[in-house]
Amino acid sequence: MASSVALPASEFQDNLFKRALRLLPGLFLLVAVGWAGKFVEQSIARYGKAHHLTLPNIEYVLWAILIGLVISNTVGIPAAFRPGLATYEFWLKTGIVLLGSRFILGDVLKLGGVSLILVAIEITVSLLFMTALGKAFGLSPKLTDLLAIGSSICGVSAIIAAQGAIDADEEDSSYAIAAVLALGAVALFTFPLIGHALGMSDTSYGIWAGLGVDNTAEATAAGALFSDAAGKVAVLAKTARNAMIGFVVLGYAIHWARKQHTAGIGNKALFLWQKFPKFVLGFLLISSLATARFFTGPQLANLANLSRWAFLLTFAGVGLRTNIGEMRKQGLRPFLVGAVGEVVIAALTLGLVLGASRFIH
């Protein structure tokens, strides 16, 4: 009896060990690229200081993304590195939870509350607009829905969640993900430029990046590229948007179940809980602990720095997983629908944020 229990346990440990081993090459690459980004930023700053030059302060975020992009689009990413690289999303979520230590709960409720109102408007208009656009361009209904969900809520996670819920094709979800990520890469560079050109405050810009950029990693990076404070607010606004994922996916799942006469959603509360991003709860918990003065000042600084390290791996992953050649192969029409939709959504959210700016300071 004892041996029959011990065998599966050792097999489980073996599997766990092998899985962990497979992650190592990619993890090392994430660390190396992230650290290289930080090294370049610091080297330029040191050089400027030593030679009394005023050089533009280009943040490590941009360097990490650019170095990753160059590697991914020149030498490419060998298969052995891919499992580890895919953990960038895990580091993103860990970073978001730890970032809770930099927010007082009152700020979370105030900024999160304003963000939630803007998110509700953004989601409603985006879903309607993207659906109409998909029909106008003759895309399949499921691809249209995936694009609408991806661009209105939270990019890749929402598309993956919706793919299973509405029983969409793998190909459709790949198209939708490709469009969302390609446009996210464009937003990384255009959002900070527009924000600076309009002279936006850190808070206003952060909320705009959180509402206008679809994928969480790109929204976080677009915020951080503007300023550290804007990056913090962008994460909060994006987290408020992510919290809506379950409700929207549930709505689409019920719609498609009725349309295809398949079994509907049995336990809706359970469905919502399964789709709810749990890192939002972790973020709120850490923020509550920080508000209750559970941590001392130096401890809060340590948690903030741990969050920065986690984001550093995320930004490296954003660059490393973006392959422009592969994006070209995905076809033009879904990309066009996504591009038109994104420009309209970016303009809409910018208008919303500027309109609400007196409530968010």
Partner 1 sequence: MPDKTETTNVAKKAAGLGISLDAWAVALALGFALLVWLGWIKRVPW
- Coil/strand/helix, residue 265: coil
Q: Rule CB under 8 A: say whether 178 interacts with partner 1.
A: yes
CB of 216 to partner 1, least distance (A): 12
Q: Rule CB under 8 A: say whether 282 interacts with partner 1.
A: yes
Residue from 306, 336, 339, 344 in contact with partner 1 (CB under 8 A): 306
Q: At what angle do helices 60-73 and 2-50 cross, to 10 degrees?
A: 110
Residue from 154, 224, 286, 313 in contact with partner 1 (CB under 8 A): 286
Selection from 248, 223, 230, 49 nearest residue 158 by Cα: 248
Residue from 326, 333, 340, 344 in contact with partner 1 (CB under 8 A): 326
Mark the segment that binds partner 1 (CB under 8 A) among 63-71, 132-140, 256-264, 287-295.
287-295
Instruction: Please say whether the beta carbons of 100 and 283 come within 8 A.
Output: yes
- Give the number of other CB atoms < 10 A from CB of residue 44: 16
Six-digit token pair at 71? Answer: 């590697």
Measured CA to CA, the distance from residue 235 to residue 241 in angstroms comes to: 10
Six-digit token pair at 39? Answer: 């090294």
Q: 298 vs 102, 233, 284, CA distance in Å? A: 12, 22, 20
Q: Rule CB under 8 A: say whether 227 interacts with partner 1.
A: no
Token pair 């033009």 is found at 332
Q: Rule CB under 8 A: say whether 295 interacts with partner 1.
A: yes
Burial of 319 per CB tally in 10 Å (0-12, 13-18, 19+)? buried
Q: Rule CB under 8 A: say whether 158 interacts with partner 1.
A: no
Mark the segment that binds partner 1 (CB under 8 A) among 97-105, 134-142, 194-202, 262-270.
97-105
Q: Rule CB under 8 A: say whether 299 interacts with partner 1.
A: yes
Q: Rule CB under 8 A: say whether 243 interacts with partner 1.
A: no
Q: Rule CB under 8 A: say whether 216 interacts with partner 1.
A: no
Six-digit token pair at 208? Answer: 């705009």
Q: Rule CB under 8 A: say whether 291 interacts with partner 1.
A: no
Q: Rule CB under 8 A: say whether 153 interacts with partner 1.
A: no
Residue from 29, 41, 71, 93 in contact with partner 1 (CB under 8 A): 93
Measured CA to CA, the distance from residue 183 to residue 345 in angstroms comes to: 12
CB of 93 to partner 1, least distance (A): 4
Q: Rule CB under 8 A: say whether 101 interacts with partner 1.
A: yes
Q: Rule CB under 8 A: say whether 65 interacts with partner 1.
A: no
Q: 138 vs 202, 250, 338, CA distance in Å? A: 40, 25, 13
Number of helical H runs and strand E runs in the chain = 17, 0
User: For partner 1, which is the closer residue by CB, 87 or 201?
Assistant: 87
The H-assigned helical ranges of 198-244 are: 202-212, 216-226, 228-242
User: For partner 1, which is the closer residue by CB, 137 or 309?
Assistant: 309
Residues that bind partner 1 (CB under 8 A): 16, 19, 82-83, 85-87, 89-91, 93-94, 97-98, 101, 156, 160, 173-174, 177-178, 181, 277-279, 281-282, 285-286, 289, 294-295, 298-299, 301-303, 305-306, 308-309, 321-323, 326-327, 330
